[in-house]
Structure 1
Amino acid sequence: MSALETTRRFDWDTFVARYWNQRPVLFKGTGASPFTLTDVFDASAGATRRYLERSYAVDSRPDVTFTVDRSRQLVLKPWLPRASDGSLEAYDARIAAEVGAKRYALIISSLHSSGYGLWSRERAFFAELWKRVGLPITGGITTLFHGTYEHSPVGVHLDRFTTFLFALRGRKRMRFWRKRPWKEDVSTVLDYQPYLKDSFVAEVEPGDILYWPSTYYHVGESAGAGVTTSVNVGIPLTEHRTVYAVDDLLRGMIDETSLADHEWTQTRLARVDASPLMRDALRAGGRLPTVLPRALSEAVEAFRDVSRPRDARRHIQETWLKRLTSGGFQPVPDPAPTKRLRDGDRVHADARFPIVLEQEDTTRWICAANGQALRGKGGGQAVAKLFKELASGRESRVGDLLRPFRSGGRTAPDVDVIAATREGMRSVLEKLHACRALTQGQGNSPHPPLDAS
């Protein structure tokens, strides 16, 4: 049997039985890829916006990297795609005017978090795999590789994830080794010419899907002139351990990248602000004080606060529902701006990806969709009936959905908890609409659906 199998038919049952976590395979021109150049550009421009809104230390590893002839650029703003470019082709023309004959590489990780169109189609595609092998609790990663680079900037390496490559533009060559080809105690090599004889290659073109297990060393190469564009999706199997998710419980975040300063201030541990410097740490005779320094005592108290059984249980439940409805890819794209839903508006959910409702206790509940969660209180069977109707996928008038609920304020006495009143449940529908879990029908409503970008 050849080192690389090639087939022109893609189906999940055959894939799982023959290739999943076993050996590489190249699917040629099957038309099965969920990715489009338009979605990739929109997500790339979104990633630029997210990057520019955050602050990073110089030595940090943000989601976006740009290299010119293998040299990583520290000032990224001029090099990144922006909405005003209009397309990847126009972006490339702008960059080409700057770099000339030099080669460049744009790499964006967590690409799915910056574009709803890309994320939604990716979720639908991989939902069929999750049915067969199980949902990755810690989530997959989506990485864009774009540019004129000669080979992957990191050289030959081993990924932690089992990987799918979706080719979108240009020709690309992936070179593989069954085991590490060098003996030196290093994790990657840039000069791999001495090891070519032990490798095998896969030539990919637009529309192709290439898969390889995490046990194969590899490097991406240019296989022709011009720009290449591909999206890699990595799925954790062994190295991305579930214990990493404990971080979520402490910070209240599902984004596992480094937090920017303004994001840290929104976490539940941000109130620990005592100076780490302590005067008179040792008393006369070398004796330690009888109380902890303020910095440590505040940290202990903050940890005790976030780990109280009731709060921890709620947060674990909410975090799990977000992960469950993210379709294996989080963080999810940000919600769109909330818009008012009137009684005459008609809405429907996607029955393939239902809105999930779970009881938190006898009166409290949590609903989740598209990786977002809302907490509510009260309503009893009326709440359950509303979400059952939404789960059917049928189109319903907002006024009909809200008829069982009484008038009242939108929020319960608890912070961030929505009261199951008529206006409170309207707020729930509006928030679900903003995160694209509800689509607004045309009907006779004067209000168009939310834009999906």
Structure 2
Amino acid sequence: MPTLEIATRFDWDTFVRRYWNQRPVLFKGTQASPFTVDDVFEASAGATQRYLSRSYEPASRPDVTFTVDRLRQLRSREWLPRKSDGSLDGYDARIASQLGERRYALIIATMHASGFQLWSRQRAFFSGLWQRVGMPVTGGITSLFHGTYEHSPVGVHLDRFTTFMFALRGRKRMRFWHKRPWSEDVSTILDYQPYLASSFVAEVEPGDILYWPSTYYHVGESAGAGVASSLNVGIPITEHHVIYSVDDLLRGMLDETSLADQEWKQTRLARVSASPLARGALSKNGVLATELPRALTEAVRAFRDVSHPKEARRHIQSTWLKRLTSGGFEPVPPPTREKPLRDSHHVRVDPSFPVLFERDSATRWICSANGHALRGAGGGRAIEIFFRKLNSGAAVSVEELLSPFGTRRAARHDSEVIAATREGMRGVLKKLHAVRAITLSA
């Protein structure tokens, strides 16, 4: 029967050589975890705000769920973390006052999209792994598991992801099977007591890192009194084909169910305005109309626009740059509000995560940072010097960066393209600051 290996030192070279996609390992007391409880609370409160700002179809899978005694709560607003809780401890106290001894589970997927500090630490930590095994083309996922639940609400299951668990609070037990322990034609089971003998367990405490490959069946269990919380990072390995990214390249980096309503309205494929109800499509004699309904005609036209070779090439280039600067974890946190930028200000880029710059034609260019991209035109060699100075790692004055650019507007472009004028490039710096790619000092 397989057993769990325990290590007391964490480094990526040893991890990749001994454990990556091979077998589970528990890293105890290494102080290597990039996550803090404060960052997790900030992201969970942000996830609540993001979740409540969106509408979902009944068949959709929202990324925030709450269960009480294994029953999923369809109306979960009152059970979710909010900024007024102040901390995870404050949240736990509020839930305990409402539920008493009843067991609950809070599960938040794509946590990295809702907290910049959490996402930033996560990107920095996993960059070491990507350097050794390659960055996942379709991106990793980050899920919070928090509560007093007896075991994972879905029971014993197999993931498509190779998984890292970062223990935050309380104690947890993960139970594993190297092979599927049951013979029934089902994908998960809740009653797994008959199969305990063939399993092995990992007892996980705050600060521990547990890793298991996607080939291991598993279930999370309660391992003590009180609330326990952990952050799981899954990296797509099994049954996750690159073909899944075709939609990304045509429509954008995110599936429409992941976008806030207002964000989805801004995408090009959402500009089809015709009613989905087709009048006169079928005559009284049962003969189909010779023309497509307006809604389908508009949809085909929109698809033709975004798939035009030149436009598609630019979109694919922009999408790939955003994916690279997201560090393998998308969607990325949204930008903050833009702030005024004076010539006397100094800006600095972390050289470990530079602003990527590429030309997409002789006069047009794209830059990307922290999972966001900007398209510009003009500027000649001054543009390349601008980004070279910006990525030097040194604090550079705004005046020095903008001095090569004139005030006359370049040739007219569409509204998404920034002209390489003095004020246009000031706008680039403001946007880079809003996405937290540059720090600002007087």
Partner of 2:139: 139
| Partner Cα distance (1:258, 1:177) in 2 | 33
Q: Residue 117 of structure 1 aligns to a residue in which SS?
A: helix
| Partner Cα distance (1:350, 1:428) in 2 | 17
Partner of 2:121: 121
Q: Percent identity?
A: 71
For 1:25-424, list aligned pairs within 5 A. Answer: 25-255=25-255, 257-283=257-283, 287-408=287-408, 412-424=412-424
The verdict on how the C-alpha distance between 1:284 and 1:167 changes in structure 2, with shifts beyond 3 A counting, is closer
Structure 1: which amino acid aligns with 2:141? I
Contact 1:255 1:331 in 2 (8 A): no
Residue 409 of structure 1 deviates from its aligned partner by: 5.2
The verdict on how the C-alpha distance between 1:307 and 1:329 changes in structure 2, with shifts beyond 3 A counting, is same
Residue 255 of structure 1 deviates from its aligned partner by: 4.8
| Partner Cα distance (1:320, 1:158) in 2 | 30
Structure 2: which amino acid aligns with 1:157? H
The verdict on how the C-alpha distance between 1:409 and 1:93 changes in structure 2, with shifts beyond 3 A counting, is farther
Would you say 1:6 and 2:6 are equivalent positions?
A: yes
Q: Residue 270 of structure 2 aligns to a residue in which SS?
A: coil
The verdict on how the C-alpha distance between 1:11 and 1:411 changes in structure 2, with shifts beyond 3 A counting, is farther
| Partner Cα distance (1:53, 1:288) in 2 | 41
| Partner Cα distance (1:332, 1:284) in 2 | 52
Q: Residue 232 of structure 1 aligns to a residue in which SS?
A: strand
Contact 1:408 1:424 in 2 (8 A): no
The verdict on how the C-alpha distance between 1:279 and 1:403 changes in structure 2, with shifts beyond 3 A counting, is closer
Choose 231-240 or 105-114, whichever is displaced more. 231-240
Partner of 1:448: none
Residue 136 of structure 1 deviates from its aligned partner by: 0.6
Residue 179 of structure 1 deviates from its aligned partner by: 1.1
The verdict on how the C-alpha distance between 1:262 and 1:423 changes in structure 2, with shifts beyond 3 A counting, is closer
Residue 60 of structure 1 deviates from its aligned partner by: 2.3
Residue 298 of structure 1 deviates from its aligned partner by: 2.1
What do you get for the CA RMSD once the two structures are aligned? 1.7
Q: Residue 362 of structure 1 aligns to a residue in which SS?
A: coil
Contact 1:161 1:239 in 2 (8 A): no
Residue 286 of structure 1 deviates from its aligned partner by: 5.1
Residue 279 of structure 1 deviates from its aligned partner by: 4.1
Residue 91 of structure 1 deviates from its aligned partner by: 0.5
Contact 1:107 1:145 in 2 (8 A): yes
Residue 76 of structure 1 deviates from its aligned partner by: 1.6
State the TM-score, normalized to the length of structure 2: 0.96
Where does the alignment leave 5 or more consecutive residues of structure 2 unmatched? Answer: none
The verdict on how the C-alpha distance between 1:412 and 1:142 changes in structure 2, with shifts beyond 3 A counting, is farther
State the TM-score, normalized to the length of structure 1: 0.94
The verdict on how the C-alpha distance between 1:351 and 1:260 changes in structure 2, with shifts beyond 3 A counting, is closer
Structure 2: which amino acid aligns with 1:291? E
Residue 287 of structure 1 deviates from its aligned partner by: 4.3
State how many pairs are aligned: 442
Residue 188 of structure 1 deviates from its aligned partner by: 0.8
Contact 2:171 2:204 in 1 (8 A): yes
Structure 1: which amino acid aligns with 2:186? V
Residue 296 of structure 1 deviates from its aligned partner by: 2.3
Q: CA offsets, 1:38-94, max 9 Å, x none? A: 000000011011111111134421110111111111112111111111100000000
Q: CA offsets, 1:108-129, max 9 Å, x none? A: 0000010000000000000000
Contact 1:411 1:417 in 2 (8 A): no
Structure 2: which amino acid aligns with 1:360? D
Choose 364-373 or 300-309, whichever is displaced more. 300-309
Contact 2:53 2:260 in 1 (8 A): no
Q: Residue 269 of structure 1 aligns to a residue in which SS?
A: helix
The verdict on how the C-alpha distance between 1:411 and 1:8 changes in structure 2, with shifts beyond 3 A counting, is farther
| Partner Cα distance (2:99, 2:284) in 1 | 65
